[in-house]
């Protein structure tokens, strides 16, 4: 999972460090060969190139782009790619050195510095997007491979609901209206998380077989409710969406298109702020951003919005991840995405239209503190291997 903006910035920073060290080594070998041992300019360039090549490959393979791989297996094909890119860089170096020294009369060492800067840019772009671009071929192809299992439905919609009698009616109307207009078989699974109002009765007014209403005997938490629905789902794809309908259902199409190249597509309010039609109150946005920073530091670097209640994933992916989930309340999204990255599933974050809805049951600071406590629990579970146990 291999895709996101933050990781590219981190890789660029590491590449600058590695590139600087490589360039210094390159210049040192060139200077010693050319000025101290009296080798020709081209011979000195070649010796410096070989030394820098080996140093650069080791550092970039096992540090700069290490996050692009699931293991440290030696792959000769990757080394050959690196040599090919570096060979082009060598030709650029020799050509540029000739032009700068012979036609512009620039001293050899300064010509080498200018040339090194040009080759540095070439190497980063090509190595980042080709040589070290993927963790392995299987992971690149995996999202494109169809699941072998036959499914009763193309899509399962999971809607967790706790005391949602005032908002669920409109959400179900919109849901049925949109998905009935598509040429697909679908099921809606409403999981009543121990509501003490008429949530289940409202759901029964709109849903009958093959749709389902699951009533939990007591409030267990949003994460537990979603897990219950996912494990019951019979659709090829599973869409989890909030009961408030903050994201219009027609945004499903964006996520579904992204599934060609991923196993998980998640809606985001922060990839493009212009898609947020009605924003949350400032204090909730602030808490959300602080929470996201904490989650990125400890668990899931590179995802700008972990909490948007609009996520689509393959059936086998959802069932595999949720069987190991331990967080039952609001931080379950973070745990879900962390486990997905642990399993090397490809995640794509898609900007979606979003309207803040009145009537939330989330209790501001109180629930935020609980969620942050759960983030620490997730980190603890991760560190001590609890996710190997169901």
227 CA to centre of own chain: 21
- Residues 96 and 116: their CA atoms lie apart, in Å, by 10
Helix (H, G, I), strand (E, B) or coil at 358: coil
Please tell me the total number of residues recorded for the chain in this structure. 390
Residue 278 has a pLDDT of 65
Of residues 353, 175, 371, the one with CA closest to residue 279: 353
pLDDT tens string 310-331: 999 999 999 999 999 998 887 8
Rounded to the nearest 10 degrees, the angle between the axes of helix 222-232 and helix 315-322 is: 130
From first CA to last CA, the distance across the chain in angstroms is 23
Cβ partners under 8 Å of residue 5, min gap 6: 302
Query: What pTM, to 2 d.p., does this model score?
Result: 0.63
Residue 66 has a pLDDT of 61
| Residue 160 CA: distances (Å) to CA of 3, 132, 329 | 29, 41, 11
Of residues 18, 117, 121, 127, the one with CA closest to residue 82: 127
Fold of the CATH domain 145-388: Spore Coat Polysaccharide Biosynthesis Protein SpsA; Chain A (3.90.550)
Residue 1 has a pLDDT of 39
Task: Name the H helices within the chain.
Answer: 5-31, 41-59, 76-98, 108-126, 137-141, 168-180, 199-206, 222-232, 252-258, 282-298, 315-322, 332-342, 364-383
Residue 154 has a pLDDT of 95
CB 194 within 8 A of CB 217: yes
Residue 85 has a pLDDT of 85
- Residues 149 and 343: their CA atoms lie apart, in Å, by 20
- Residues 64 and 15: their CA atoms lie apart, in Å, by 6
CB 90 within 8 A of CB 49: yes
Give the mean pLDDT per block of 10 residues along the chain (390 residues): 51 76 86 87 84 83 62 58 83 88 87 84 76 52 62 95 94 96 95 95 94 95 94 96 92 92 90 69 76 80 85 95 88 91 90 78 70 85 74
Enumerate the CATH 3.90.550.10 domain ranges in the chain, comma separated: 145-388
Neighbours of 144 (CB within 10 A): 9
Residue 2 has a pLDDT of 39
Structural tokens at position 29: 């070998």
DSSP 117-153: HHHHHHHHHHIIIIIT--S-HHHHHGGGSPPSS--SE
Structural tokens at position 74: 């030696």
Helix (H, G, I), strand (E, B) or coil at 350: strand
CB 333 within 8 A of CB 349: no
- Residues 24 and 81: their CA atoms lie apart, in Å, by 23
Measure the CA dihedral 248/252/257/259, to 10°: 130
């Amino acid at each position: 999972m291999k895709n996101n903006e933050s990781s590219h910035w981190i890789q660029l920073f590491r590449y600058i460090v590695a590139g600087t060290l490589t360039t210094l080594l390159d210049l040192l070998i060139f200077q010693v060969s050319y000025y101290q041992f009296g080798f020709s300019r081209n011979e000195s360039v070649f010796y410096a190139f070989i030394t820098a090549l080996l140093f650069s490959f080791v550092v970039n393979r096992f540090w700069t782009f290490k996050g692009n791989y699931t293991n440290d297996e030696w792959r000769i094909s990757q080394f050959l790619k690196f040599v090919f890119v570096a060979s082009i860089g060598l030709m650029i170096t020799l050509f540029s050195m000739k032009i700068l020294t012979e036609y512009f009369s620039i001293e050899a060492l300064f010509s080498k510095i200018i040339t090194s800067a040009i080759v540095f840019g070439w190497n980063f772009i090509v190595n980042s997007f080709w040589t070290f671009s993927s963790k392995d071929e299987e992971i690149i192809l995996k999202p494109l491979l169809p699941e072998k299992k036959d499914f009763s439905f193309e899509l399962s919609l999971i809607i967790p609901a706790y005391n949602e009698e005032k908002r669920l009616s409109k959400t179900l109307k919109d849901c049925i209206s949109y998905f009935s207009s598509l040429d697909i078989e679908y099921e809606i699974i409403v999981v009543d998380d121990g509501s003490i109002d008429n949530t289940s009765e409202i759901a029964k007014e709109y849903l009958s077989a093959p749709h389902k209403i699951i009533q939990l005997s007591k409030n267990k938490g949003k994460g537990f409710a979603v897990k219950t629905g996912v494990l019951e789902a019979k659709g090829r794809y599973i869409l989890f969406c909030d009961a408030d309908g903050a994201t219009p259902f027609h945004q499903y199409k964006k996520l579904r298109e992204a599934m060609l190249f991923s196993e998980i597509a998640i809606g985001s309010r922060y990839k493009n702020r212009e898609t947020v039609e009605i924003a949350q109150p400032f204090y909730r946005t602030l808490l959300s951003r602080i929470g996201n920073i904490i989650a990125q530091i400890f668990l899931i670097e590179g995802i700008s919005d972990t909490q948007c209640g609009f996520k689509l994933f393959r059936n086998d992916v959802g069932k595999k991840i949720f069987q190991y989930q331990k967080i039952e309340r609001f931080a379950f999204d973070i745990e879900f995405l962390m486990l997905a990255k642990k399993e090397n599933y490809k995640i794509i974050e898609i900007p979606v239209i979003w309207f803040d809805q009145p009537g939330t049951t989330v209790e501001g600071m109180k629930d935020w503190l609980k969620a942050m406590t759960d983030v620490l629990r997730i980190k603890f579970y991760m560190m001590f291997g609890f996710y190997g146990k169901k």
